[in-house]
Amino acid sequence: MQGNGEDHANDERLPAAARAAGFASPFDRAAWFDLLEAHGFAGQGRIDTHGRAGATTAWLPLRTEKPGDVAGLTNWYSFAIRPLYTGDGDRNAALRALFHNLRRSAAHLTLYPVSTPDDLTAALRTAGWWVKATPAGDRHWLDLGDMDHDAWWASRPGALRSTVQRKAKKGVVDIQLLTAFDDGSWAAYEQIYAASWKPEEGHPALLRAFAEAESAGGRLRMGIARIDGIPVAAQYWTVEDGTAFIHKLAHVEDSLKASPGTLLSAALFRHVIEIDKVKRVDFGTGNDGYKRDWMNRHDPLWRIEAFNPSRPAAWGPALKAFARTLLRKES
């Protein structure tokens, strides 16, 4: 059953009131997708595809890669892509209607990164798509449960706790925590990032605009570590709906002996747990080894590819995609 599903050629824009199921995320707001579009990440054009079931509408912002080929409207800053909804009715029916509608205009759909693929793959298959879901990357996150800061800290590796204790006692590193955007602190972050081991920042103007918007909403948490007054480490977090999101971190290589990045992380964890009362901390995408020291949960991220069997343009790519899967299973 597809609901009442008409999408009027996807000519409606994602409403600001749309929300994802579960806890809120910075990457679930209409403003985030508007920001991506404004900074050139909409490919050949943005499509806010949607489907209705009764009073409930499912929404999924997409970009056009080429005619008939669409993907989730994301970039390298995005932690995940998932459907958004307005109304409190049958969300699964609305999502099935969305994918049924999308078959009118798309031959191939790619969604990445996806943290919980089951509802999406089920809705796609019910709507008539051929679907392939593949593990593609990792996410590390902290589930605090009933732990306070001290209980969480006691659960961390002894080497990490010893490093923080020893380096903090030396008093070499000064820590500044901010909850509002500040031009000077952002300039310090950019200076540190440029001098760090990280590759060149992918899109600094977008990141700054995002930080300014999060600050205006009261969600920004930022830290700067200094040695002798010189900025040597910086981190950019946000806090929302009981979750802290770690977006960016960097340190100057020749400051490693003083462990400013580790001390800064410890200070920010303490702040978001004790002051903001978060129950989750999300370290985003990537399987960097150091994340395991701070987090207690690890999940795969998924890439979903869906092929529309009613479009001959999808048959060749679908054959190649599923053939690769079969070959891997046989090897």
Q: Does one domain contain both 133 and 18?
A: yes
- CATH number of the domain bearing residue 203: 3.40.630.30
pTM of this structure: 0.92
Full domain range(s) for residue 216: 146-278
Q: Does one domain contain both 26 and 120?
A: yes
Q: Does one domain contain both 31 and 129?
A: yes
Q: Does one domain contain both 309 and 249?
A: no
In a domain, 293, yes or no: no
pLDDT at 10: 54
Domain count, the chain: 2
Q: Does one domain contain both 41 and 117?
A: yes
Segment-wise mean pLDDT, segments of 10 residues, the chain, 331 residues: 42 92 95 97 97 97 96 97 96 98 97 97 98 95 98 98 96 97 95 87 94 98 96 97 96 86 97 98 91 95 97 92 66 46
Q: Does one domain contain both 135 and 249?
A: no
Q: Does one domain contain both 127 and 206?
A: no
* List of E strands, the chain: 46-53, 56-66, 69-72, 84-86, 108-114, 130-143, 173-178, 220-227, 230-240, 243-251, 280-285, 297-307
Structure-block tokens of residue 222: 């930022």
Q: Does one domain contain both 135 and 155?
A: no
Asked if 10 and 49 count as a contact pair (C-beta separation under 8 A), the reply is yes
- CATH number of the domain bearing residue 76: 3.40.630
Query: What is the rounded distance in angstroms from the CA atom of residue 117 to the CA atom of residue 302?
Result: 7
In a domain, 291, yes or no: no
Query: Element (H or E) spanning 113, and its range?
Result: strand 108-114
Structure-block tokens of residue 131: 């679907």
